[in-house]
């Protein structure tokens, strides 16, 4: 099969690999029907993810059809359409039992797919702990509607859930990239009084204005003053930092009112300064970390009911045999790209049905 592979720092290649087999009794093998490219994939390419293993197939955003299951898998069967969770988790350790699945203590726990084990920018993928990592796609939900459930939508939903948002709040979201836009949709479910999106790209500000009525937008250089004008207590009640830029961490806490919640969703390329003397007396609560992606069934229900729809984020579509071109567009942010849907290769590399 074809698989887009992390060869070394700065180099991905589309190469032939064997179709994955079941290794553990809790595994499933999924035929990938649609995948996507994430900024985290670019972090791997550029060496910003030290735990990433050269030689692995990249990609952790995907949906597909179950082809094989191990004897201990009970929640899915061959032929089922499924989303694949970015997090691999056992469901049994201390952290999993408390919903902190990002910190699963299994050797394959946490972000494994497309980082430490083969991921989904391929024709097939092996999914460990399939009962936890796969969710059934409702019949009225398309692959494109479900594509982001296991990663950026799960991230946005988790961020909104832990941020303690109330209907009286002014909520500031910094960053209108793909994860920021998913976070925005999930924050909107909470119905806060005011939502402000801070974004430097005029194209993405226009996208927010066109697709999300009632959401206010502002550029970073005007953000602090704008938030003060549109909040009642000296700043935003909740700030979600989803940009991961050079100055966006400081902007996040500076725009927060005293005793606010600041949720850090972004993954930074460099360490951030926590200037405690400067923020002394603001009594802020910071919430940070990787997504605990255990809300996928709930997200799929909301999509099925028409309450979440991220298909407008898909601006480009490529087949797997053209994935290098897709990466070029995504990495250079060309042609108004937001997210790319990658379908199976136009001609399969082998008769896979006879081997799976």
Contact partners, residue 66, CB within 8 Å, separation at least 6: 28, 29, 30, 31, 76, 77, 78, 79, 80, 82, 130, 134
Q: Which H or E run contains 288?
A: strand 285-288
The pLDDT, as a whole number, for residue 349 is 52
pLDDT in tens, the chain (356 residues): 999 999 999 999 999 999 999 999 999 999 999 999 998 999 899 988 889 999 999 999 999 999 999 999 999 999 999 999 999 999 999 999 999 999 999 998 999 999 999 999 999 999 999 999 999 999 999 999 999 999 999 999 999 999 999 999 999 999 999 999 999 999 999 999 999 999 999 999 999 999 999 999 999 999 999 999 999 999 999 999 999 998 999 999 999 999 999 999 998 878 899 899 988 899 999 999 888 888 999 999 999 999 999 999 999 999 999 999 999 999 999 999 999 999 999 875 543 332 22
What is the Cα–Cα distance from 298 to 85, expressed in whole angstroms?
13
- What is the CATH architecture of 2-151+293-354? Alpha-Beta Complex (3.90)
| Pairing assessment for the beta strands 194-198 and 216-218 based on DSSP bridges | parallel
Cα(193)–Cα(227) distance, integer angstroms: 13
Contacts 24+ apart (CB under 8 A), 90-94: 90/129, 90/132, 91/129, 91/131, 91/132
Residue pair 323/11 in contact by the 8 Å Cβ criterion: no
Domain boundaries, the chain: 2-151+293-354, 157-288
Check residue 353 and give its pLDDT. 34
Distance from C-alpha of 217 to C-alpha of 165, rounded to nearest angstrom: 19
The tens digit of pLDDT for each residue in 239-255 reads 999 999 989 999 999 99
- Per-residue pLDDT reduced to its tens digit, 206-216: 999 999 999 99
Q: Alpha-carbon distance 24 to 12, whole Å?
A: 28
Per-residue pLDDT at 354:
27
The predicted pLDDT at position 252 comes to 97
Residue 269 pLDDT = 76
Architecture of the 157-288 domain: 3-Layer(aba) Sandwich (3.40)
Q: Tokens 């849907």 identify what position?
A: 341
């Amino acid at each position: 099969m074809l698989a887009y592979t992390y060869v070394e720092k700065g180099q991905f290649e589309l190469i032939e690999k064997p179709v994955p087999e079941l290794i553990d009794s809790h595994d499933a093998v999924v035929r990938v029907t649609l995948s996507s490219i994430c900024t985290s994939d670019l972090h791997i390419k550029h060496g910003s993810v030290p735990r990433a293993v050269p030689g692995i197939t990249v990609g952790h955003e995907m949906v597909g059809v179950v082809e094989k299951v191990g004897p201990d898998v009970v929640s899915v069967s061959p032929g089922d359409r499924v989303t694949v969770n970015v997090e691999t988790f056992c469901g049994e350790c201390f952290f999993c039992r408390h919903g902190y699945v990002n910190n699963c203590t299994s050797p394959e726990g946490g972000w494994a797919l497309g980082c430490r084990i083969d991921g989904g920018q391929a024709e097939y993928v092996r999914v460990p702990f399939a009962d936890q990592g796969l969710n059934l796609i409702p019949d009225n939900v398309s692959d494109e509607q479900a594509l982001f459930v296991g990663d950026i939508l799960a991230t946005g939903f988790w961020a909104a859930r832990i941020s303690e948002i109330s209907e009286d709040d002014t909520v500031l979201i910094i960053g209108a990239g793909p994860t920021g836009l998913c976070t925005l949709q999930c924050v909107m479910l909470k119905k806060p009084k005011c939502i402000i999106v801070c974004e430097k790209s005029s194209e993405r500000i226009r996208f927010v204005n066109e697709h999300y009525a009632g959401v206010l937008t502002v550029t970073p250089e005007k953000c602090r003053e704008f938030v003060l004008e549109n909040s009642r207590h000296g700043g935003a009640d909740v700030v979600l930092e989803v940009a991961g830029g050079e100055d966006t961490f400081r902007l996040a806490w500076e725009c927060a009112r005293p005793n606010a919640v600041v949720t850090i969703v972004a993954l930074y390329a460099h360490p951030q300064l926590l200037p405690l003397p400067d923020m002394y007396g603001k009594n802020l609560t910071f919430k940070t970390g990787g997504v605990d992606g255990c809300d996928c069934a709930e997200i799929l229900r909301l999509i099925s009911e028409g309450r979440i729809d991220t298909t407008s984020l898909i601006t480009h579509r490529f087949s797997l045999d053209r994935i290098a071109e897709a990466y070029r567009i995504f990495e250079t942010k060309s042609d108004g790209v937001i997210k790319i849907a990658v379908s199976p290769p136009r001609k399969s590399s082998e008769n896979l049905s006879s081997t799976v």
